[in-house]
Chains A and B, each alone.
Chain A
Amino acid sequence: MGVAAVSLLTTSGLTRHFSGIHAVEGVDFTLEAGEIRALIGSNGAGKTTLVSMICGRIPPSAGEIHFDGRDITRWPAHRRIMAGMAYTFQISSIYAGLPVFENVALAARRKRRGRAAEAATQEALMRVGLWERADQPAGDLAYGHQRLLEIAMGLAQSPRLLILDEPTQGLSEGEIAAFKALIRELAPATTILLIEHNMSVVMELAERVTVMDMGRILAEGTPAEIRANRAVQAAYLGTG
């Protein structure tokens, strides 16, 4: 046997109960460095709860999380971010009262200073096409542009693992196409974990797909395998 590739992220037995409801139940999940992974499942399947535990927004009820070979289960969120994770919120969470530039600069300044931070901010804004709007208050942006700003804040951190929670929700067709191209550019330098409902994004972007149902992992495989999986069809895709 050769040496197995070191997984970037593993969870074992990860569980979260909300007052009796098993939102996530004993999830063993592995992410290899450099891959693009999609996480799908119906509403309430536990996707957001799972990634929230991974990035430290909520503590798990049981189980362990390892990132880059280190047990981070008890780390506060900010420490995980500094170790190389970035998280973009499902419901846009930006600084509405601050200029677009400052929103991204706050992200860039965690690992850079001065001119380097400004350059990283400009680069991230140009990549998502918001550079012309850098001086506007972020709260004045249209909804789709706020989603792109979230993504720019993720990019500016130069993360090793970028977690995107429904990033294409509310984007136009053209913006979705640009988003797909952007994510392809990032991999394999950045590992991507994507919660997504848009099947065209999932099937075109993801190398592997994980399907969650009722807080557990129902299936995992390539997009083609997932499409052919009867259990997934019954539980989620809804087609016979």
Chain B
Amino acid sequence: MRGGGARAWTLHLAVLVLLLAVQFVLPAYHHGNLARIMVLASYAVGYNILFGYTGLLSLGHALFFAAGMYGLGLAIKLGGWAAGPAIVAGLGAGLLLSLAVGALALRTSGVAFMIVTLMFAQAGYLAILYFGAFTRGDEGFVIPREARMIMWLDLADAATRYFVALALFALCLLFCLWLMRQPLGRALIAIRENEERTEMLGYDTFRLKLVAVAISGTMSAAAGAAYALLFGYVGASFAAVQYSILPLLWVLVGGAGTVLGPFLGTLFMFYLIDIASGLTTAYMMIAGVVLVMITLFARSGLLGEARRRLWGWLP
């Protein structure tokens, strides 16, 4: 783990520059897709901090994604807030919820942790439906175009949307890269590798895991808030169990515990389903077969395999 710093920064900055450049050549359809993928990949990067680096498998991250989405959406819809303060409301909702859920769920571990987080997320989903008078339940609500402005930036405009999605993704990616080179990030990895040993080296593992849940949950909320703002829609389906499973899938496919893996996984799965659904209505079967192949032949995910076989220095 010593060294490799300059190479790692160069690689990740090069990926970001590439993402900045391709928007000028991409057709409109893929341009829009990539903006969406970058927002969803930010969610996956947040999920990876807890799952890939700390070793805690949550099945309830849709709660945090939705906390950002509804925190922002309701602040605009009910409070008439501007986009800027509404983003803060979304992030605050994600932070508070992840601290509360973390403090309770971290009293368990392993399978129990998965179930407790799943239950909290279901409770959140049902709460959104129950308070349909405010949230419009399943149907959701649209964020009006005039609310999707940050200063002079019109977020409904495709080019602006791409830039903002890229900025969010870059922030999440570089933060993750930086964090995992800090003593805090190293301690989280230590918990994943051997929690009892870490406690016996003098680390307060409960507090560290709570910090990991909070960072992961808040980053997920940032992605949720950005999704609502950039694509103009807030709906209960984003709080459903499917949106808890998706980041797990993206991270597993791309490579858990790698900085770029979540992006690769999101990109891969998005286009796999996109292309497969153009060929057949049974597109989920194609996705399923590919997933089985990856678990059989690339157990540590696309980038995890690359690190294992080719580039040991990959963070």
Residues in chain A within 8 A of chain B (CB atoms): 55, 57, 76-79, 81-82, 87, 89, 93-99, 101-102, 105-107, 109-110, 113, 135, 153, 157
Contact = CB atoms under 8 A, between A and B. Distances in A.
B107 interface: no
Given A106-B187, A110-B203, A135 B2 contact: yes
A95 B192 CA distance: 10
Contact of A97 (B186, B193, B198): B193
Nearest to A77: B199
Contacts of B201: 81, 106-107, 110, 153, 157
Contacts of A93: 194, 196-197, 200
Given A95-B193, A98-B193, A101-B1, A55 B200 contact: yes
Given A102-B186, A106-B187, A81 B197 contact: no
B174 to A, nearest CB: 21
Contacts of A87: 200
Nearest to B186: A106
A78 B205 contact: yes
A121 to B, nearest CB: 10
Interface string B176-216: 00000001001101100110111111111100000000000
Contacts of A99: 1-2
Nearest to B201: A107
A94 B194 contact: yes
A95 to B, nearest CB: 4
Contacts of B200: 55, 57, 77-78, 81, 87, 89, 93
Nearest to A108: B201
Contacts of B204: 76, 78-79
Nearest to B205: A78
Interface of B: 1-2, 183, 186-187, 189-190, 193-194, 196-205
Contacts of B196: 57, 93
Nearest to A114: B183
A106 B200 CA distance: 11
A80 B183 CA distance: 20
Contacts of A105: 186
Contact of A78 (B1, B2, B203): B203
Nearest to A98: B193
A97 B197 CA distance: 13
Nearest to A134: B2
Given A95-B193, A98-B193, A107-B201, 12 more contacts: A57-B196, A78-B205, A79-B204, A81-B200, A81-B202, A93-B197, A95-B194, A106-B186, A106-B198, A109-B183, A110-B202, A153-B201
Q: Which of A78, A79, A96, A109 gathers the greatest number of chain B CB atoms within 10 Å?
A: A78
A87 B200 CA distance: 7
Contacts of B197: 89, 93-95
A59 B2 CA distance: 38
B202 A78 contact: yes
B205 to A, nearest CB: 7
Q: Which of B1, B199, B202 gathers the greatest number of chain A CB atoms within 10 Å?
A: B202
A96 B193 contact: yes
A78 B199 contact: yes
Nearest to B206: A76
Contacts of A95: 190, 193-194, 197
